[in-house]
Structure 1
Amino acid sequence: MKKKIIFTLIYSLVLSFTHSQLVHAQKWANLFNGKDLKGWKQLNGKAKYSIENGEIVGTTVANTPNSFLCTEQEYGDFILELDLKVDNSMNSGVQFRSLSKADYQNGRVHGYQAEVDPSDRAWSGGIYDEARRDWLYIPNMNTEGKKAFKKSQWNHYRIEAIGSTIRTFINGIPTAYLIDDMTAKGFIALQVHAIGKEQKEGTQIRWKNIKIQTENLKASPTDNCPVVNLVLNNLSTQEQAQGFKMLFNGKDFTGWRAVHGTKMPEKHWSVVDGTINVSPSDGSETGNDIVTNELYGAFELVFEFKLSEGANSGVKYFINESFDSGGKSGVGLEYQVLDDERHPDAKLGAAGNRTMASLYDLIPSYKLDKRFQRKIGEWNQARVIVYPNNIVQHWLNGFKVLEYERKSNIFNVLVARSKYEKYKGFGAGDKGNILIQDHGNNVSFKNMKIREIK
């Protein structure tokens, strides 16, 4: 009997201690007391911030820039949760790890922002870099995430910023997964976006239940949300869980060789500060392309590329080395990498099918708004996705720019009318190498990753 009593007491103490640990681990601090704006300050624009029914209300005002209600305290690693409801005609956002400095655009607020976007483009939960780098994570690839935001309703936002990993969730649904290390600490702010002349003032956004964790942080489990990883040659936990591996290790050309060869070419290829660099030459194609040792069928390929002025290059897939190219470039499907403004190849072919991100000489890519085009010398984000059913997609800077079906009748007709018509079975192999092209111009590549799709 005594043993039973002692066991019961010990068990109760263990439960009590475990519960205490759990409460401590999940401790939240309120950022808004429901009564006034103590602990907050307004920066930049003159939008109105008020308190109604325990909610912060932001109201648009004409002829003023973006307004920000900012925490006086700065936060590094944290988990933030809040509820918001916005007028459907507005645009807004939740700033975090943000800064305002006199020596940067005269104190303009800048830094990460979780988007609040009730428009039909449905980019809510995407990650924008306010007054700095523009869009970092456009959630176009995340079809489930784009459905998470509910118009004219309260929406629950969760932002996890732990180390270089930044994740957003709306109503419990993952909306963005970004790896970036530009800013480690800053304030949190509630944005009331500036309005144009055609928009009426007086529209509102409301926030409530604003709380934060800063200790004993526990990140959400891995999921299927696509990752944008801007840290050089880094493979995040989520990417690993999704099956990605580095295609280029950032140090040397292990896993690569010359097309039609067994070793790397002796000229033009080098690793510079963790990136692949193709040095300029006389422009002649002399079999100087490089290919992966491994063959790939259905896959998702991610890479970044940077062009020099007037440059031409490409990333090819389903390379078939049995095709005789006369000692020139390896033959396969090509994601075109090109300076459309300055290289003459952009005006050749048909209907623009040799321009940036096109399926070279076969299908033109959708042309992005200039805002989403990177300047020469800046890095572009690219994806090539080949599904097991032979549907292929090209992505550029967060946008799907073309889609087609390999081996289909339409594909075969396009090949028959192209420069590849002499290659029987072009682009129709079950597997092939990935190729990076040396076209005689200076081009750089980095963060090359791939996963096989089953």
Structure 2
Amino acid sequence: MKTKIVITFFILSFSTLTVFAQDPVLKSAFNGKNLKGWVAPENNTWWTVNNGILTAKSGPEKKGSILWTDKEYTDFVIETDFRYDEGTVDTGIFIRNESQQIQMGISGSLKRDMTGSPYIPGKGYPVEALNVKEILKPNDWNTIKVIAIAGYYEVWLNGKHVMSYTSDNYVKTGPIGLQLHPNTEMTASFRNIKIGKM
């Protein structure tokens, strides 16, 4: 039994390393001028672009919003600079649909920063990203990288690996979304958004 477990672990590790070794080419997914390449919500007042920066800002009714890529992805890596500007920032990166995301900012349920952790409906935060408090730069630009291979997710924050998790109920293909959480007053910014196919 132990031999089988070791062999299985080796195969999975080797497969993962093989995929990562491909080092996908990241292409710009945000032109810094407008929302071309993204699907803005109807009557958009939440997402604006100025001087190369994409800003998400809560409206007076605090409805929240999701900005989706106009392309769909299967296995991918997304990297972006981000900054928490004002209020109680609760945002994140949706992975192929609205059900699973990598949290960025303050969790509404836990009332603390869960940047880099996966949120899975029905499971909450099954794992928590490591050492985020030490790595995250408050009120400054940070960089997050998310890799999604089927249901396997990995996250890097400012170049440091902080989380890995395997979801058993992932969606195979879909767009990537940026979230402006409802029922909060917040402003967050993004720039240098890049996406690559694995």
Shared fold per TM-score greater than 0.5 = yes
Provide the C-alpha distance between the structure 2 equivalents of 1:159 and 1:137, rounded to a whole number of angstroms: 17
Q: Gaps spanning 5+ residues in structure 1: where? A: 1-23, 99-109, 216-454
- Tell me how far apart the structure 1 counterparts of residues 45 and 66 of structure 2 sit (CA, whole Å): 8
Given the alignment, which residue of 75, 82, 103 partners 1:115?
103
Runs of 4+ in 1 over 3 A off after TM superposition: 43-47
The structure in which a higher percent of residues are strand is: 2
Cα distance in structure 2, aligned partners of 1:45 and 1:128 = 28
Which digits, 9 at most, give the CA deviation of each residue in 1:173-218, with x for residues without a partner?
222211113212211111111234xx5xxx4211111111114xxx
> Is the Cα contact below 8 Å between 1:32 and 1:211 reproduced in 2?
yes
Shift of 1:44: 8.1
* Paired AA for residue 144 in structure 2: Y
Tell me the equivalent position of 2:90: 91
Tell me what 1:58 maps to: 56
**Aligned amino acid, residue 125 of structure 1:** G
Secondary structure of the corresponding residue to residue 147 of structure 1: helix
Q: Deviations over 1:219-247 (max 9, x none)?
A: xxxxxxxxxxxxxxxxxxxxxxxxxxxxx
Letter in structure 1 aligned against 2:79? E
The one-letter amino acid paired with 2:95 is F
Q: Given the superposition, is the C-alpha separation of residues 44 and 37 from structure 1 closer, same or farther in structure 2, using an over 3 Å criterion?
A: closer
C-alpha deviation, 1:62, in angstroms: 2.3
Q: Distance in 2 between matches of 1:63 and 1:72?
A: 26
8 Å contact from structure 1 (residues 47, 64) kept in 2: no
Contact kept in structure 1, 2:24 and 2:197, CA below 8 Å: no
SS in 2 for 1:125: coil
- Give the alignment partner of residue 31 of structure 1, picking from 29, 46, 59: 29
- In structure 1, distance between residues paired with 2:113 and 2:56: 21
What does residue range 136-151 of structure 1 map to in structure 2 within 5 Å?
136-139=125-128, 142=130, 144-151=131-138
CA contact (8 A) 1:44 1:66 kept: no
- The 2-side partners of 1:38 and 1:71 are apart by 9
CA contact (8 A) 2:92 2:179 kept: yes
Residues 67 and 148 of structure 1, relative CA distance in 2, 3 Å threshold: same
Aligned match of 1:78: 76
TM-score calculated relative to the size of structure 1: 0.35
Corresponding residue of 2:187: 204
Aligned counterpart, 1:341: none
Counterpart in 2 of 1:173? 160
1:275-312 per-residue CA deviation (whole Å, 9 max, x = no partner) reads xxxxxxxxxxxxxxxxxxxxxxxxxxxxxxxxxxxxxx
In structure 2, what is the equivalent of residue 227 of structure 1?
none
From 173, 177, 182, give the equivalent of 1:185.
173
CA-atom RMSD in angstroms: 2.5
- Residues 121 and 136 (structure 1), Cα distance of their counterparts in 2 relative to 1, 3 Å cut: closer
Report the residue type matching 2:195 in the other structure: I
Of the candidates 146, 162, 165, which is equivalent to residue 149 of structure 2?
162
Q: Distance in 2 between matches of 1:85 and 1:44?
A: 25
Give how far 1:75 is off. 0.7
Q: Deviation at 1:41?
A: 1.1
Aligned to 1:214: 197
Q: Distance in 2 between matches of 1:163 and 1:59?
A: 31
Structure 1 position 69, deviation (Å) = 0.7
Where does the alignment leave 5 or more consecutive residues of structure 2 unmatched? 1-21
Please say which structure displays the higher CA radius of gyration. 1
Structure-2 separation of matches of 1:53 and 1:82: 16
Q: Could you tell me whether the CA contact under 8 Å between 2:85 and 2:189 is conserved in 1? A: no
Distance 1:133 1:187 in 2: 22
Give 1:58 shift.
1.0
Cα distance, 1:136 vs. partner?
3.6
How many residue pairs match? The answer is 172
